[in-house]
Amino acid sequence: MADQMRLDKFLSHLRIGTRKESRLLVRAGRIRINGVVTKDYAVKVHPGSDRVSLDGQDLVYREFIYLMMNKPAGYISATRDRSEKTVLDLLPSVWTGWDLFPIGRLDKDTEGLLLLSNNGQLAHTLLSPKYQVGKTYFVRINGAIGPEELERLQTGVELEDGYRTKPAMVRVLRAGETYDMELVIYEGKFHQVKRMFAAVGKKVLYLKRTAMGGLRLDPSLKPGEVRELTEAEVAILKCGSLSLA
């Protein structure tokens, strides 16, 4: 939790208004600290322990935001781009101004779980190979795959640039004209899943991320939808990455 901060800064951080608008609210006597009206916008508050309210409604201070998105195909995982639509274009306006960025990348045609946050430290931990956070994918490939190829995917395959992948977990979910599989990898090289399957002669027809660490994509989120993580889900993310540290 943040240290003491000036009241006008606290209010603008909560997106109650700009610094100037926040000062006007204070001057108008609409802000109370621990039940007492204050008209001094420079007064210091403790975001963790002081109760600040606007028109009688308690304001909850949050430094970090964590969102879960079901990324649809057709959007790139970047904060801005000259020609392409980015995942930030999908966010409702309430989330603009929070400096959110996607934690890790999914290809333009990949769907599924994408976390967005403004917590750079957590992003770093989740993505660092040192912490071994598993990324689970649903993968549909063209045609059949045999035990020998599955074994190679699990133990490590050599990609076309000579990189040898780390051990992974793979299982077949459905066998037919095309095969559906679940793959868990603990690293995140560029186009890694597609390149791993290419290394065993298979083409990925459809790719969706279904989990990151212990956090699974909420099945009720439709493609393009986003919601905040619950406190329990944030704890799962943090605890998963800490316990593996």
Q: Which is nearer to ligand URA, 111 or 233 (CB)?
A: 111
Minimum distance, C-beta of residue 201 to ligand URA, in the bound complex (Å): 16
Single out the residue of 177, 169, 115 nearest to residue 145, CA to CA. Answer: 177
Q: Rounded to 5 degrees, what are φ and ψ at 204? A: -80, 125
Q: 107 an active-site residue?
A: yes
Residue of 40, 81, 99, 107 with catalytic role: 107
Q: Which is nearer to ligand URA, 106 or 199 (CB)?
A: 106
Q: Which is nearer to ligand URA, 10 or 138 (CB)?
A: 138
Angle, helices 192-199 vs 147-155, to 10°: value is 140
Q: Which residues pair with 212 in a beta bridge?
A: 135, 215
Contacts of 227 (CB under 8 A, 6+ apart): 67, 68, 218, 221
Footprint of ligand URA on this chain (CB under 6 A)? Answer: 106-107, 110, 191-194, 207
Give the C-alpha separation, 169 to 187, whole Å: 12
Q: Is 213 left (phi over 0), alpha (psi -120 to 50) or beta?
A: left
Contacts of 128 (CB under 8 A, 6+ apart): none
Minimum distance, C-beta of residue 20 to ligand URA, in the bound complex (Å): 43
Minimum distance, C-beta of residue 16 to ligand URA, in the bound complex (Å): 37
Minimum distance, C-beta of residue 202 to ligand URA, in the bound complex (Å): 12
Give the C-alpha separation, 72 to 67, whole Å: 15
Q: Which is nearer to ligand URA, 112 or 240 (CB)?
A: 112
Minimum distance, C-beta of residue 74 to ligand URA, in the bound complex (Å): 13
Q: Which is nearer to ligand URA, 53 or 210 (CB)?
A: 210
Known catalytic residues are 107
